[in-house]
Amino acid sequence: MFFSFFCDAQQEYFQQRVNYKINVNLHDENSSLSATEEINYVNNAPQALDFIYFHLWPNAYKNNSTALAKQLLWQGKTDLYFSKPEERGFIDSLNFKVNGKSVKWEYDKEHIDICKLILNEPLQSSDSLIITTPFYLQIPNAKFSRLGHTDQAYYMTQWYPKPAVYDRTGWHQIPYLDQGEFYSEYGSFDVKITLPDNYVLCATGDKVINADEEDFIKKKISDTEKEIERRKGIKNEASTEDFMPASSKLFKTVEFKQSRVHDFAWFADKRFYVLKGELELPHSKRKVNSWVYFTPKNLKLWKDAIEYVNQSTTFYSFHNGDYPYNNVSAVDGSIMAGGGMEYPNITVIGEVSNAMELEMVITHEVGHNWFYGILGSNERDTPFLDEGINSFYEMRYLRAKHPEIKVAALAGKDSTFKLFGLNKIPYWKYQEIPFYVNLRARKDQAIALKSTEFTTSNYGGIVYSKTSLVMDYLMDYVGESVLDSAMRIYFDNYKFKHPSPNDLFKTLEAFTGKDLRDFQKHLIYSTDHINYKLKKSKRQEKGYALTLKNKTGSILPFNIYAYDKNNKVLGVHWFDGFADKRTVTLPEEAHHFKIDGIDRMPDINRKNNSIKAQGLFKHERPLRFNFLSSFEQPSKTQINYSPVIGGNFYNGPMLGLALHNYGFYEKRFEYLVSPMFAFNTKTPVGFAEFNLNFYPKSVFRSITLGTKAKTFAYDFYDTQFMNDNLGTNFKDLYLNYYKIAPYLKFEFKKKDPTSKITQQITYTNNNLFTDSLDTSAYQTFAVSGPIKKNNYTFINQLSYDLNNTRTVDPFRFNFSLQHTGSMAKVSAALNYQITLTKKHAIDLRFFAGAFLAGSLEERSYYAFRASGYNGWHDYAFEGNYLARNERNGVGFSQFMERDGALKVWSPLGQTPEWMTALNVKSPKFLKIFKVFGDVVVGDARALNTDKFLWDAGINIVFWNEIIEVYIPLLYNADIKKTLELNKVSFPNTIRFSFNIHKLAVKSILQNSFF
């Protein structure tokens, strides 16, 4: 039965063959190549071809409108977009001939890194032809992507004209991209590289024997070994900058040959150290040479790298099938932009910070020889077949070799490093982190998408991480040896071919004997989530009856582990998936049970997986306190704590404790409570926040019902005058505010997840309880001292926010309607940044606002303010002011850029009618300086003789949008008069913003690290 399936598949499957002969000269004086290429193209398709698509991928670096430049920009990388012409690269001097005759060819209309050869006569099925062309390559700077040079170090990848894949679904002409590169035809390469003879050269394939080159490499290896020995004794060596030697005047030509590969890459560096090793393949016992190449700077890091190459090659061979080539190499590419990247036989390794990380990256990249090199699936369309499956084996390698090392090692710490619970997660489990960050925020995407459809964070968190977790869960279910034998069959049947997801799952189904349709439906082709819950346990005559609930409806098999009270496993039972509710019986006399006992299922909520067999609190999870925050431990109720300090003019210094459950993953219920003690007023103060997140299926990513609360003193009644005159001894009376603001927030789901636009609507009900002096009790002040009363007001706000975080010209827009029972005002603000260069931008802000209703008195209280908000203008108590109600000193100088946002203070332009403003900030100069300019126009009654208010001056940015200082130098005449009238001297015109309320612990934890 299996047999007939494979025969069927092969009838429609075909694969072209492309054999290359390339002669190339490196001109390192100007970092260019000149070359000739001869391609033997074999048409194995059942039909004739009229044309052949070619990739000219070096043209991806030609200008800032290529697909690569656009993708890099989308990833937030602006190097290529803002590159100088001399940094870019391109391919030209092409002159295609087919069977010796000139042929018409044209660039693709959209992509200059694709062209089309129009054949003079059709290439018949089973026929072949010879295509030749010279080409010249200007090598781009290596800071952009993966083809390039840094000084005279060369990373030659995707560098030659290459036919696109033609398969049973048609042509796959694709522009070069950084995220999800490869799909290529198999064939053979014979490449002769000519370059100055002091370069160390490494490449795909076997080197054709060349006595001089052998001697040169042998000498390099012995130099390397001596240098390692010499530097063993040196403990704290000064970091050595790599010195680039001059190029030799003599040239050498080195030839490499390889068949059954789909790509050819080479690397050349005059500084490279070289180590050579050997390994024996586990199945065939054939010997393979292993090589590592690295720069002097990284010698200490790389000295054991042969071991990593050998062990990973052996590991992958054992589990999947023997490595079919003679050489396997890893190259230090830490000075290029692309990071680790795989090519047949040879992999380049990006910047790593420690030996453990180097081993992990080498393992991953060596592993790509199987999942990309030998099994040549289409990475552009189904990236999980190589990145994902390969990450699964990388994870297994780390688990087998380093079971005891914790994820703390990723941060360069040893496994006892406690912060954030990094000592609790095994290193091999690091893939869970990026996956759960996206999953719990409901920002995850389906595994089976095309590489261009993923957000950058899901390209890691789903393609790599979720695939490896899902495969691990499958292995837990079918058993390791069953999965291994299935994967060896997959390897044998599809090696040197282009397998599809269907080929993988058909093979897995056939050789595991399991129906994997639900597995694919829920875990590969959708964002369905898993959440089984253990609801009840009930004593039976023998063992227990457990009631489970499937909370998501994804019908997937699961196991239940039974444990004794020392956490020893008594039994493991697998069950088929079910929808809704089910009761199962387990025979063990267990102390507790757990679904997915060893955490292999990508269950969205592992907290409800356990239950105690007996007792009143079967779901009890013991408390665990963590400093700052911690990764989740589902078996514990985690409370995070940290000390909090603060201070303001009234309360004086404050000290307290923040307790919260904010973690790296979003939670349904989140809280932060931060009580503090104020030393001046000797009162409790503080703030708190609670929110409950709901995740509807459509329209909104999340709906949040939350409350913010805070209380501090905001003014005081000074009793000194009273005490001096009346001989009393009353204490100053401090006035407090209490704010409780429940809100409902709707964050829209993005139609296209890769979009940079987020939108949300929030409705907030600000309840303000503010103390004021009880003036009705003035007469008794002499006896009782000053008395205060508390007033209640509210102001509600409906706001719509749109934020476009695109790399060039990002902007955000806010519309808000504020109202009380009788007053209503609307305003809109657009903050638009004009990006000029990589580091320079002009900031623009447009503001407009008007009142819709309210008495003049009420509107005056909520007036639009030309000079932004001082503390006493902040009627909703949004900001944190150091001296909220003081009209001099710090209280006078601190402001928030609201409404007109003039940086200079003026009592002018406080309008109960309408206001518009334009605010401009120049690009930064001298690192922290900007020039600002503002113009405000409002209702004429709020102005004097000048029709509009304006100012200009210097802005010092200490911390963008958090701590900034403004020095107004120029302003209109009316403002000048008001400053003179109010006796505001030049130093007092300097104002600052201190927007500490914009720093949210929760979003820092959940958005900054991943």
Binding site for Zn ion (CB under 5 A): 387
Alpha helices in 402-558 (DSSP H): 432-440, 456-458, 467-478, 480-494, 501-512, 517-519
- Nearest CA-CA partner of 754 in 180, 16, 2, 137: 180
- Shortest Cβ 365–Zn ion spacing (Å): 7
Nearer residue to Zn ion within complex by CB, 387 or 444:
387
Residue nearest to Zn ion (CB): 387
CB 367 to Zn ion: min, Å = 8
Spatial distance between the Cα atoms of 458 and 446, rounded to a whole number of angstroms: 9
Q: Report d(CA 900, CA 908) in Å as an integer.
A: 11
Quick one: 342 or 886, whose CB is closer to Zn ion?
Answer: 342
In this structure, the dihedral spanned by the alpha carbons of residues 622, 625, 628 and 630, taken in order and rounded to 10 degrees, is -30
The half-sphere exposure of 471 on its side-chain side, counting CA atoms within 13 A, is 29
CB of 391 to Zn ion, least distance (A): 7
Q: How many contiguous H segments (helices) and E segments (strands) does the chain have? A: 20, 50
CA 273, CA 240: separation in Å to the nearest integer?
Answer: 14
Q: 68-71 long-range CB contacts below 8 Å, 24 or more apart?
A: 68/113, 68/144, 68/145, 68/175, 68/176, 68/177, 68/178, 71/177, 71/178, 71/179, 71/452
Q: % helix / strand / coil in the chain, to the nearest 5?
A: 25, 40, 35
Residue 872 CB contacts under 8 Å (≥ 6 apart), including other chains: 884, 885, 887
Q: Rounded to an integer, what distance in angstroms lies between the CA atom of residue 208 and that of residue 205?
A: 9
CB of 465 to Zn ion, least distance (A): 12
- Please give the Cα distance from 548 to 482 (Å, whole number): 28
Q: Which is nearer to Zn ion, 160 or 459 (CB)?
A: 459
Q: How far is the CB of 851 from Zn ion (least distance, A)?
A: 58
The CA–CA distances, whole Å, from 358 to 363, 366, 406, 465 equal: 8, 12, 16, 19
CA nearest to 302, candidates 278, 329, 280, 275: 275
Residues in the chain: 1010
CB proximity list for 685: less than 8 A, separation 6 or greater: 651, 654, 656, 675, 676, 677, 678, 711, 712, 713, 736
Contacts with 945 (C-beta within 8 Å, 6 or more apart), sequence order: 973, 974
Least separation in angstroms between CB 41 and Zn ion: 29
Give me 133's structure tokens.
């062309």
Cβ-contact 67, 177 below 8 angstroms? yes
- Measured from the CB atom, the residue of 330 and 975 that comes closer to Zn ion is 330
C-beta separation of 685 from 711 below 8 A: yes
Least separation in angstroms between residue 323's CB and Zn ion is: 17
Given the DSSP bridges, would you call strands 341-343 and 287-294 parallel, antiparallel or unpaired? unpaired
Q: Which residue, 155 or 256, is less far from Zn ion as judged by CB?
A: 155
Q: Which is nearer to Zn ion, 457 or 955 (CB)?
A: 457
C-beta closer to Zn ion: residue 501 or 786: 501
Which segments within 161-301 are labelled E, that is strand?
A: 162-163, 165-167, 170-172, 187-196, 200-203, 206-207, 251-261, 266-269, 273-280, 287-294
**Alpha-carbon gap, residue 46 to 13, rounded angstroms:** 10
Cross-strand pairs, 612: 592
| Min dist. Cβ of residue 489 to Zn ion (A) | 23
Q: Helix or strand or coil: residue 450?
A: coil
Nearer Cβ to Zn ion (332/874): 332
Using the minimum distance from each CB to Zn ion, give the nearer residue, 394 or 666.
Answer: 394
Q: Which is nearer to Zn ion, 180 or 879 (CB)?
A: 180
Distance of closest approach, residue 385 Cβ to Zn ion, in angstroms: 12
Judged by beta carbon, residue 367 or residue 663, the one nearer Zn ion is: 367
What minimum distance in Å lies between the beta carbon of 387 and Zn ion?
A: 5
Least Cβ distance, residue 750 to Zn ion (angstroms): 26
CB of 368: closest distance to Zn ion in angstroms? 6
The residue (of 167 and 387) whose beta carbon lies closer to Zn ion is: 387
DSSP at 509 = H
Q: Cα–Cα distance between 741 and 766 in angstroms, integer?
A: 4
Shortest spacing between CB 958 and Zn ion, in angstroms: 40
- SS3 at position 978: helix
Nearer to Zn ion, 113 or 387 (CB): 387
Quick one: 330 or 741, whose CB is closer to Zn ion?
330
Nearer to Zn ion, 298 or 347 (CB): 347
**Contact call for residues 370 and 491 (beta carbons, < 8 A):** yes
**Closest CB to Zn ion among 167 and 394?**
394
Distance set, CA 325 to CA 345, 370, 373, 495 (Å): 7, 11, 11, 13
* Minimum CB distance to Zn ion, residue 177 (Å): 14
Yes or no: say if 618 and 537 are a contact pair by the CB < 8 Å rule. yes
Q: Min. distance of Cβ 297 from Zn ion in angstroms?
A: 24
Nearer to Zn ion, 464 or 544 (CB): 464
**C-beta of 263: minimal distance to Zn ion in Å?**
14
Shortest distance (Å) from residue 2 CB to Zn ion? 31
> What long-range pairs does 751-757 form, CB within 8 A, spacing at least 24?
753/443, 753/445, 753/453, 753/454, 753/455, 753/458, 754/74, 754/452, 754/453, 754/454, 754/455, 756/74, 756/804, 756/805, 756/806, 756/810, 757/802, 757/803, 757/804, 757/805
Report yes or no: 635 and 617 within 8 Å, Cβ to Cβ: no
CB of 390 to Zn ion, least distance (A): 6
Write the CA distances from 91 to 22, 56, 132, integer angstroms: 15, 7, 15
Nearer to Zn ion by C-beta: 387 or 603?
387
Tell how strand 114-123 and strand 49-55 pair up: antiparallel
